[in-house]
Amino acid sequence: MPPAPRIPALTLFLMTQKGFFVLSRTIERFRESIGLVVVGSDKTLKKDFETEIIALCEQHNVPHIKREAFTGAAPTPYAMAIAWRWMLDHPSDRLVVLHDSLLPKYRGFSPLINALVNGEKETGVTALFGASEFDKGDIIFQSTCPLSYPITIGNTIDLLNEHYAKAAIFVMEALEKDGKLNGKPQDESKATYSIWLDELDYHIDWRKPAADIRRFIDALGYPYNHAYSMVDGVKIRILSAEVAPDLTLQCRHIGKALYIDSGKPLIICGSGLLQINEARVETKDGFNDFLPLKKMRLRFV
């Protein structure tokens, strides 16, 4: 009698570059373990990888469905969510979530952005069980990623992709070998929380040190909307900047352009100076280049 067909262990809930990268690294090796891929979309991102995830599934004949069309529960014993933003109807002891922080630090929303803004020396990826309270589940696996500044959010995501793949492969190998997963409780005394961001949180505070503002600009760049400042009532998205040597100022008029160098303004910060290298004017129809500047008397607020 031929052996019974193998029952796939996992439904994958995937979105963004993280989800696509993990799928690309695991789809051939663990093809028989993947029962279904549910594909999410986030049109607020410049590129959400929905199309690429679907194309990869079709290339390897993996069953897939868009989130909007998915109803009911996952059809496999286990489910794993990567970069997912919605509640899932699956038993918490068989739901694996990949979170981009070293839990219990940075539970919650936008952990990677907030870690970069805070200048953390390391971040990472945690695979944990689902829980009724966000990010409190037992830890299955962690992979640590050192950080060195300056670094953009885009470059950090590229670094973390490998750590996401490590975590996913650990989970898949464990299920393939033992058919189950084990976790370790988190240390509640070390828990910190990361707060969700909206448009107001993208506004630059020029009272801060220039180095902090540089990190802020880098942390909110592509694929996100970019940090902004107001100039003459117009919203300016700042794509890149660099810290310049400070000067002795008789009066520190924070936010003013001190002078223009090759069309690039040097802005007075709470401490230090920041040169804006790339910026765009946000309009109803899109964006226009803000640089090079000819007018020097500008105040960034």
User: For 10-59, how does the pLDDT look when each residue is reduced to its tens digit (9 = 90+)?
Assistant: 999 999 999 999 999 999 999 999 999 999 998 878 789 999 999 999 99
- The answer to pTM > 0.75 is yes
Average model confidence (pLDDT) for the chain?
94
Q: Is the pLDDT of residue 2 over 60?
A: no
CATH of the domain at 131: 3.40.50.170
| 168 and 239 belong to one structural domain | no
| 143 and 216 belong to one structural domain | no
Phi and psi at 284, nearest 5°, equal -65, -25
Residues 154 and 161: beta-carbon distance below 8 Å: no
Give residue-wise pLDDT tens across range 142-199.
Answer: 999 999 999 999 999 999 999 999 999 999 999 999 999 999 999 999 999 999 999 9
Range of the domain at 256: 200-289
Neighbours of 91 (CB within 10 A): 13
Q: How many domains does the chain have?
A: 2
| Position 134 confidence tier, pLDDT thresholds 50, 70, 90 | confident
Residues 19 and 45: beta-carbon distance below 8 Å: no
- Name the residue type at position 286: G
My answer on whether omega of the bond before 185 falls inside 30° of 0, hence cis, is no
Using the 3D structure, point to which of 176, 194, 212 is the last residue of a domain: 194
| 263 and 186 belong to one structural domain | no
Q: What is the DSSP letter of 271?
A: B
Residue 292 in tokens: 């090079």
The answer to whether residue 118 is domain-embedded is yes
Look at the block and give the residue holding tokens 């300016």.
236
| 177 and 119 belong to one structural domain | yes
The answer to whether residue 4 is domain-embedded is no
Using the 3D structure, point to which of 160, 194, 228 is the last residue of a domain: 194
Q: Is the pLDDT of residue 201 over 50?
A: yes
| 248 and 113 belong to one structural domain | no
